[in-house]
Each structure stands twice: as C-alpha cells, then as structure tokens.
Amino acid sequence: MQHHASKDILQHTAPTRHNEAILFIGKDSTAVAQERSRRKTKTMDLEALAGSVGSPAVFVGLGVTTLALVGATVFLSRSSSDSSRGGAGAAAERQVEELDRSKYPGGHLTIYYGSQTGTAQMFANQIASESESRGFKARVVDLQDVVDNEDGDAIDAARIRPQIGPSPAEDGVAGELDEVDGDGALIRASLADPCYRDPDAGRSTSLFFVATYGEGEPTDNAQQFVELMKVKSGIDNIYKISPSEEAPGDGGEDGGPADPSARDATFLSDLDYAVFGLGNKQYEHYNNMSRFVDASLGRCGADRIADLGLGDDDDDLEGDFESWKDNVFWPAMAERYVKGAEIGGGRDGEEDGATALLPCPYRVEYLKDANGSRGSPSPDLVQTSSRHYLQAVDCPIAARRELRDPSDPGSTLHVEIDVSDCMDTNSYVTADNLGILPRNDPKVVEAVASALGYDLDAWFDLVPVDEAKARHSLPFPTPCTVRDCLERYCDLSGPPRRSDLKQLANYARGDIDKKALLRMSSKEGKAEYKEKIVGMHVGIADIVTRLCPSFSCPLEHFVMTCPRLLPRYYTISSSSSVHPTRIHVTLAVLEEEKKDGGKFTGVCSGHLASSKVGDTVRAFVRESTFRLPRRTERPIVMLGPGTGIAPMRALLQERRHGRSNGVDHGKSVLYFGCKDRSMDYIYRDELEAFVEDGTLDGLHLAFSREQDEKVYVQHLLKERAKETWDLIDAEKASVYVCGAVRMGADVDRTLQDIVSSQGNMSAAEARAYLEDMSSSGRFVQELWS
C-alpha cells in the first residue's frame, strides 16, 4: 500500500493509533531484540493498556489534523541554570523579561507547533509575523521542547507510548509518565513560565499549532505532550470525548472550572488558550486531536479565550485558517489583552502587507569544498518534521517487476529493497511501513538551477541567523550541494500553497508575474488557484522556469519558501520472518494527463519506476498498524483492493511461516478487488497458492469492470454478513482494511450495517461496537486519499 501526502493534513487511517516511530536503523541486533522484547512486556504496551487480546495496532501512516492553541505557554529555556527536572522552579530563578508596553500592550505570545510536514509550522510563523502589529511580542517553539529533558533530548518515545483506548490501570500509565516528568514540571515550566507571564494578571499567553498524524493522533513532536495531557486531564480515550469535555467552561481570571474527574484540575489554571484544528473531512475522526487538546486544557483549569476553529484540507484549509485568525482569534486577543491600546491593524490584505517577506531564520554560507564545512549539524538543529532526512539510509534495489498485464496502460510495481548491509537484523516487522525519500527528476533540477542562476555543484551550509533560536530551525541537514538541495529536499513538482505563492510574488520582477501570483494567492483567487495550480499539477518548478520568467530568488529564500520534499510511505508487503533482509514494496505508478497535454508523474513512484536493479533509494522503517493477533487461533478478515493487498500479502506470508513451524492459526479470509482479472489481478499466483496450501481459507474476488454493474469488496462483504458477524463476534476476529479512503468509508458503513442487523443493535450501538473493536486493536485501517 502506498500513502500520498498533502501538507500537514495527512490523516491516513480510520480507527488506528499512531506511535512515535521507533527506528531500528543504526542499532545493533542485540539492542533491537531487547527493544522488541521490552515492547511486549512494558506496562505501557498498547495492547496491555487497551486490554486487547490482539496485537498492538500502532499507526505511523500519513495523516494529519493540525491545531492551534492560544494560551499561556512559554518556551523552556535551554540555559544550564534551568535545565533540571524541576524546571518550574528553575525557570522562576531567571529574570522576568521586561517589555515595552507601548509597543507590546498585549505582552508575550509564545507559539508552539506540532508539525509532520510543515504546514502547522508555517501557520505558526504567519501568526508570529503578524503579532507585533497586533501588540504582542511573539516567539515560535517546537512543541517537542515542552517535554524535553535536561539534556535537551526528547523523552524516549518508547517510554511514553500512546494508548489505543482507555487504560485499565491509571496508576500504571501515570507511573510511567511520572518516571520521566514527575508531576508535570516540564510542561509547567514551559506553559506557565513566570518569565513570560503578565506581571499584573499572573498569567501567560501562547499559541499552539499541533498537527494530528494518522486518525485523530498527534504528530511525532507533539506525542509526549499529548500523552502527559491525557494523564493530567483524565481523558484516557481520545476517541470518546463527551460534550462537556469538548466545550470546557470559561474560567475567567481564576482559570477554568475545577473538574473533579480530572487528575489535576488546577494544573494549568494560569493558562489562557484557543484551538484551531486542521483536518480532512474525508476521514472519520475529523479534527479529533484539536477537540482533545481543547478539552484537556479546559479540564486542567485553563481558560479558553477564542472559539475552537476547524480547518478542512479537503476543501480550503488555508482559507479556513485565515478566516479564523482574522475573525475569531485576533479579535478575541485584542478584546482580552489590548483593548483600548493604539496598535496597528495587522496584515489584513493590503498589497504591501500581503506580500511582506517573512524573516528567514537561516543564511547560506558557501564553502570552498565539502571538507571546509563545519560538519553536519546536531539533530536538534534540524526541524522535527525533517528528521527523516537524518534517519534514512541508502539501500540498493535487489529486484523489481511489473505486476500488471502488458495490455493494461497502468503500472503496478513489485520492488524488493536489500537491507542486509544498510539496516541491522530485525530492522523491520511484518507489514511495517517503509518511508522512501524521493528524488526530483534531474532534468527538472537542472532547469530550476538554470532559471535561478544556481551553481549545482556548489557546497553550502545553512547557518541559524539567531543562535538563541537555533534549535529546530534548519529545514534539512547541511552541508550539501545545491544539487542535493534541489533534488532531495525541495518539492519542485507538488502544487505550492497559496501562502507560498504570496511569498514567491516578492521575487517576481515583472508586474504581470507578480500580479498573477498575488491574484491566485488571494482569497478572491481561490477558484483560479484550484483550477490553474492544483488542477493542472503546477509546481514551483513550472512557476520559476516558464510561467513567471521574471522570477529571481536567493537560495536561502527559495529554500524557506519551497515546501519540503516529503517521504512517501508504503506498507511493506513482505514477512520479516520469510524475507528478513529484503523489504518488498507494492506501488502503483501515478501518471495523469495534464490539461495542457503534458504528463504528470508522481515524484516517488516515478523515481522508483525509473530506477534499475542496483540503484539505491533512501529509506527508513516505521511501525505500522498491521499486526497479527497474538492469540494465533483467532481469525483475521482482510479487505485490500488494488495495492491495498500489500499488508495482507505480508500477513499471509507470516501465517504460512507459522504453520510450517507448527503454529496453529485461525481462519484467514481475504477480500481483493481490481478492474479485470486479466489485467490487474496482482499476485494472482501467490493468492491462489495460499488457498491451495490452506493458509487462506476464503478468497473473495471483486472484478469491478467485468460486468455492467460494478462490484466492489464491500458488496461481497455484505453478501457474507452472517459469516462475517460470526467471525468478529463469536470468534473475536481482527479486521484489516487497506486502500482508498472512500473504499474504507464504504467498508466501515457495511460493517456497521452487518453489526446492526446480525447483532440486533441500533445504529448507535453498532457504531460503539466498532469503536470498541478499534480501541482494542481488532479493527485496523490504513487509508489514503
């Protein structure tokens, strides 16, 4: 299965869980084995927490809902004087920063972000750039820093693992969290730092942008913060937030109301906040994380100062954000903090203000040669949303073959990647995710460099402009060549955001080019933007090389404005027991005809399609949701049309391996679908062999184009309603779904109908039944749009 990324809105699964990826690259095999063993026994094991009988379902796919919190929050200083565990007390020893109240009548505004792809960080920077004219002194901070320990390193993600449901023993959860953060001193030291409180009201003011990754889950760098807030707030199941939790009361000057069900109802009583969520309505748990954070802060005594805002990437995410900040957030901030003060009107759209250049947090230093550099930066200097650049390793392609019939104009590839020399033994588990870092077409890279006058062979360093703000300021590791920068790190073919076009307009020397960029970046130009940029697959490379010939931009500003080239995630289609040193990937090559007659090819699938055996790809492993039940006698029901067959193939290989070693397992039922059995029935021989040797007990095939009325996997599932109900209810089967989000929604509705009709339940009871299956790890989906 392959995942397609879009901004920070990468919501990717339905009822699944996300875990900070534990990467086994660079560990020796003993350490890996110990880590795997520890995962099975630790109190914080997902399955133990959920009381599940099945294996942990830990999602690391692509999917993001993003939120912003405005409230009392400040950055935990990295100075040695306040780096102890008792951060709150140490922070109090630092000198309170004096403000020019005539310039900043609103006081301090600390902006945190939790971002997987950069959109949340971009929104945070946009608010920061508007803050001074609104009367606030702002700073932007990575949310990971809220829970960093005294060495400045992130709390071990393996020690604070997200729960997939309610915890049966709160003391176990709290004990594990208290082990790393005691009574929440790290969060208090940041969210209630006395150095950034209003000296009169005794309160702080902050803004958070926190992206949700997966289905209603936090991003990597927000994960520990969310886990700690779950414990402090008493909300142990983020999928079941009651209406009272979702709309906490106004606590006024004394903070939020004391909630007796919260573990610490006064934990953040000196915090003011507001939340803006970024999600995608195609997914079931739309903006779930923004609702959770809004509720958890209120339950801990914080005071909400602006209504919850929700942005939808399926429609107009940036438009939703702009509307919320201009009509809800800034008016609420002005009313609360700067009422009556003489301040600027912000940047509400006048042409000069709208195109004001954001400050670049780094500068380019060209090097005479690679040996003359200062060396690779500390990982702490690289933005957390770019850590994959440091984690990935070069792996050779060992085999590749086309899976479709030659008569089919489309292409689906089977690629095998040799990890024997680049990753340690046990580097992946059956049906894990493989993140692949794509590379832009060399011809496109050369065209961009030629248009902008860049020397592709020049080496350079990115150096933070402000050393005090250097942490997490660099978009990718340097030194590197300009060629590597454009080829590996800059998304040249994906459609730029409207805010990117607004920034690019600063570098258009011709009036026609500048006006065109400004028009499509404006609120009034949304329709034109969708038609001419998104609809025609126009990337930044197209803009700078042919559409806006007057464009000229220094390298550091191009790097700042151009979106990052993100990894593409593929669910591994092989068993680690059968193929321990070769990772199999199944991917559809994305090719579409453009309206101008050209051809658009997906950057990653196109890169793999053009690669040959022996070529290398940069890759890393992340945990997946797909795990076989620990009680092997339990059945599994799998639905995976098209390339959604990938994890099912891996699970079946694993079950066959177990059977050959004397392990009994329950029934295995697979629903597979494609257009035509003669064209795109991929892995046909293997699936039929699974049936013949008894690994697969039921193979149900939906060929959508072989009859007048289209037939899909959900139709076949409905035909076997009683069989399906008996498997999931009486025999406690696990259900796995992989494929397009619309297919996933259809399967979800079909399952709800089956549970309702066969189990004699109301629609609400059937919904709750499936949610309980999800919480216990028995209903797992990985979906993409």
Residues 28-55, mean pLDDT to the nearest whole number: 34
Q: Tell whether the model's pLDDT for residue 60 goes beyond 80.
A: no
Q: With 50 as the cut, is the pLDDT of residue 590 above it?
A: yes
- Least confident residue range of 525-529, 613-617, 647-651, 727-731: 525-529
Q: Would the pLDDT of 489 be above 90? A: yes
How is residue 639 written in tokens?
């639905």
- What's the per-residue H, E or C state across 560-613? HHCCECCCEEEECCCCCCCCCCEEEEEEECCEEECCCCCEEECHHHHHHHHCCC
Averaged pLDDT, 53-80:
35
The Cα–Cα gap between 134 and 339 comes to 11
The pTM assigned to this predicted structure is 0.79
Distances (CA, A) of 83 to 86, 117, 171, 177, 469: 8, 29, 27, 19, 16
Least confident piece of the model among 48-52, 324-328, 335-339: 48-52
Range in 423-427, 517-521, 734-738 the model is least confident about: 423-427
Instruction: Answer whether residue 293 shows pLDDT above 80.
Output: yes
Instruction: Answer yes or no: are the C-beta atoms of 656 and 695 closer than 8 Å.
Output: yes
pLDDT beyond 80 at 380: no
Nearest to 716 by CA among 704, 701, 729: 701
60 or 478: whose pLDDT is higher?
A: 478
Instruction: State mean pLDDT over 349-377.
Output: 68
Per residue in 76-117, pLDDT (tens digit) is 333 333 333 333 334 444 555 677 888 899 988 888 888 877
Q: What percent of the chain has pLDDT over 90?
A: 48
Measured CA to CA, the distance from residue 375 to residue 368 in angstroms comes to: 13
Q: How far is CA 210 from CA 6, 474, 590, 754, 772, in A?
A: 16, 19, 30, 36, 26
User: Could you say which architecture CATH assigns to the domain 362-389+440-561?
Assistant: Up-down Bundle (1.20)
| Strand-strand pairing, 459-464 and 480-481 | antiparallel
For domain 628-784, give the fold.
Answer: Rossmann fold (3.40.50)
What the block records as the tokens of 420 is 């024997």
What three-state secondary structure class fits 418? strand
Is residue 23 very low, low, confident or very high in pLDDT (cuts 50, 70, 90)? very low
The predicted pLDDT at position 260 comes to 56
- State the Cα–Cα distance between residues 93 and 362, nearest whole angstrom: 31
Q: Which architecture, in CATH terms, is 392-438+566-624?
A: Beta Barrel (2.40)
pLDDT band at 180 (very low <50, low <70, confident <90, very high): very low
Please identify, in words, the CATH class of the domain defined by 64-340. alpha beta
Share of the chain above pLDDT 70, in %: 74
Inform me whether the pLDDT recorded for 58 exceeds 60: no
pLDDT in tens, 187-235: 666 666 656 666 666 788 888 887 877 767 788 778 888 888 888 888 8
- Read off the pLDDT of each residue in 610-620 and give the average, rounded to a whole number: 96
Q: 534 or 355, which is more confident?
A: 534
Three-state DSSP class for 740?
Answer: strand
Q: Compute the residue count for the chain.
A: 785
Answer with the residue of higher pLDDT: 415 or 291: 415
Which pLDDT tens digit goes with each residue over 542-568? 999 999 999 999 999 999 999 999 999
pLDDT at residue 13, rounded to an integer: 37
The CA-based angle 689-653-579, given to 5 degrees, is: 120
Higher per-residue confidence, 284 vs 329: 329
Check residue 190 and give its pLDDT. 65
CA distance 603 to 591: 10
Contact 613, 398 (CB under 8 A): yes
The pLDDT mean for the chain works out to 79
| 310: Cβ contacts below 8 Å, ≥ 6 apart | 276, 277, 279, 286, 287, 290, 320
**Alpha carbon separation from 65 to 46, 116, 277, 785 (Å, rounded):** 22, 10, 6, 14
Q: Which two tokens stand for residue 475?
A: 């978009």
Of residues 638 and 238, more confidence is placed in 638
Closest residue by Cα to residue 628 from 227, 45, 47, 43 = 47
Q: Which of 41-45, 139-143, 269-273, 495-499 has the lowest mean pLDDT?
A: 41-45
The pLDDT of residue 220 is 78
pLDDT, greater one: 72 or 526: 526
Binning pLDDT at 50, 70 and 90, where does residue 344 land?
low
Residue 265 has pLDDT above 60, yes or no: yes
pLDDT of residue 398: 98
Quote the Cα angle for 522-524-529, to 5°: 65
> In whole angstroms, how large is the CA radius of gyration of the chain?
26
**CA-to-CA distance for 629 and 663, rounded, in angstroms?**
13
**Which segment of 342-346, 456-460, 684-688 scores lowest on mean pLDDT?**
342-346
Q: What is the predicted pLDDT for the residue at 317?
A: 85
Residue type at 63 in one-letter notation: G
Q: Specify which residues 490 forms β-bridges with.
A: 564
Give the C-alpha distances (Å, rounded to integers) separating 94 from 73, 194, 530: 16, 9, 50
Domain boundaries, the chain: 64-340, 362-389+440-561, 392-438+566-624, 628-784
Beta bridge partners of 585: 415
Task: Calculate mean pLDDT across residues 479-484.
Answer: 96
Q: Look up residue 340 and give its amino acid.
A: G
Quote the tokens at residue 136: 């606030």
Give strand pairing partners of 780.
Answer: 736
Report the distance separating Cα 783 and Cα 63, nearest Å.
9
More confident: 669 or 705:
669
Q: What is the pLDDT of residue 189?
A: 60
Q: Assess whether pLDDT exceeds 50 at residue 465.
A: yes
Which residue did the predictor score with more confidence, 717 or 86? 717
Shared fold status for 64-340 and 628-784: yes
Of residues 330 and 301, more confidence is placed in 330
Q: Cα dist. 285→167, 222, 288, 685 in Å?
A: 20, 18, 5, 37
Q: At which residue do the structure tokens 């064209």 appear?
A: 679
